[in-house]
Amino acid sequence: MTFFHYRAGLLHAEDVPVDEIAAAAGTPVYIYSAAAMRARYRSLAAALTGLRARICYAVKANHNLAVIRTLAAEGAGADTVSWGEIARAHQAGVAPGRIVYAGVGKGDDEIRRALQLGILQFNVESVEEMRRIAGIAAAMGRVAPVALRINPDIGAGAHDKISTGRKGDKFGVAYQEAGQVLGEAMRLPGIQPVGLHLHIGSQITELEPFAAAFARAAGVYRELKGSGVPLERLDLGGGLGVRYNDETPLDPVAYGLMLRDVLGDLDAELVLEPGRWLVAEAGILVAGVLYPKMAEERHFLVLDAGMNTLLRPAMYGARHAILPVRRQDGAADQLVDVVGPICESSDIFGRAYALPPLESGDLVALTSAGAYGAVMMSDYNSRSSAAEVLIDGPDYAIVKAMRPVEEQFADDRIPDWLPHPPS
């Protein structure tokens, strides 16, 4: 965590003291380090040297415009999964010709808008979707560049809920059926097959499943290209794993070597769609301590951040390391269960965290929170989403303010015909 470090016992994000940011933006607050994101991007790009490859940042991991802009300025394109994400990426400055668009449920209007904008390619997940895109494109007098997402039947990912490439998962078409589907695609007006796509899962810390899936995809690619399908791109998806606690994150150099080994002689431009790997460790979530609740049977630390702020622990049993924002010299750590304020038993970040004694008003930082944190926030229990702050050296900016409670219900409407309650 070199971009988040202690100086004189106080946690800093790059050069800015974290307590200063918390005072300015309120808590809970997500803090992102631009330098950390750039360092990640550059180390991955460097590991791909010599390969014909492009990086399309999976904006689902963190879709704040300032985050997308930081990576786009480094040369990243965008991997998207809805018109909303395409619009965000475009708004943040990503050129349409650098945007790929996946997802099992693309709506007609989304397809139309993406065609109008002129994105690089649609990553198509079913024959039904292929036909739908063909119809819409033909009616618009356009041709949709399409990569077919194949399901390689290889499981990977830290959790059953984030494995996407097994037979029976909803994503893509069985790899054995790719030829048939692309054969039909070639006969459809409005479709230009340009590639294959796969994405086997997320938070993968081993190279083997990637290598096995990519080798399988390369076999299909070669066979189809050999039989006359004009393929030019193989999109490998994302999935590169990071450190949350004690995991060994995926090494980009080893990943690059594996790509050379498995795909070095493939006649294809490669596309990588990392999300988590670029931004997770570049972000922390800073929360205020509401109460230390030291019941005899269990010690709890109740934070002002909850599952509505960071859903990963409740949803996947994920465990993010937690640091005190101010270190205490000489104070012995206590084991505490760290929980949020939401009325759900699953609103718990984890049991038995070793932390120094903390009081109301103290701050803690949940680490590796830059990916799938802010994007998955909700106003559940009518608790407002956290603010987001971007740091760049000595500078910082609130890149999304915490929403005042009144704005949460500003769009609700009470129909005139509903009776009034008694006064």
Ligand X SMILES: Cc1ncc(COP(=O)(O)O)c(C=O)c1O
Ligand Y SMILES: N[C@@H](CCCC[NH3+])C(=O)O
Q: Does 202 bind ligand Y (CB under 6 A)?
A: yes
| 308 in contact with ligand Y (CB under 6 A) | no
Among residues 332, 343, 414, 418, the one annotated as catalytic is 343
Residue 344 assigned as binding residue = yes
Cβ neighbors of 223 (< 8 A, separation 6 or more) are 179
Q: Is 366 in the site for ligand Y (CB under 6 A)?
A: no
**Binding track, positions 154-173, relative to ligand Y; x by CB under 6 A:** --------x-----------
- Residue 251 and residue 206 in contact, taking contact as beta carbons nearer than 8 Å: no
User: At which residue do the structure tokens 């990637």 appear?
Assistant: 210
Q: Using the rule CB under 6 A, is 60 a contact of ligand Y?
A: yes
Q: Which two three-digit tokens encode residue 289? A: 């301590």
Among ligand X, ligand Y, none, what does residue 312 contact (CB within 5–8 Å per kind)? ligand Y
Residue 219 in marked binding region: no
**Nearest-CA neighbor of 164 among 177, 154, 174?**
154
Residue 275, marked binder: yes
Backbone φ and ψ for 16, nearest 5 degrees, come out as -110, 130
* Contacting residue, 372, 388, 391, 399, with ligand Y by CB under 6 A: 372
Strands (E), 8-62: 10-13, 16-17, 29-33, 53-58
**372 known ligand binder:** yes
- Spatial distance between the Cα atoms of 111 and 102, rounded to a whole number of angstroms: 11
What does 238 interact with, of ligand X, ligand Y, none (CB < 5 to 8 A by kind)? ligand X
Strand segments, DSSP code E, in 119-202 are 121-124, 144-151, 173-174, 191-197
CB-wise, 198 or 302, nearer to ligand Y? 198
Residues forming the site for ligand X (CB under 6 A): 58, 60-61, 79, 102, 199, 202, 237-240, 273-277
CB 248 within 8 A of CB 205: yes
Compute how many residues bind ligand Y; rule: CB under 6 A. Answer: 7
149 binds ligand Y (CB under 6 A): no
Phi, psi of 163 (to 5 degrees): -100, 130
**Is 56 a residue of the active site?**
no
Q: Kindly list the catalytic residues.
A: 343
Interface residues with ligand Y (CB under 6 A) are 60, 162, 202-203, 312, 316, 372
Residues at the binding site for pyridoxal 5'-phosphate are: 239, 273-276, 372
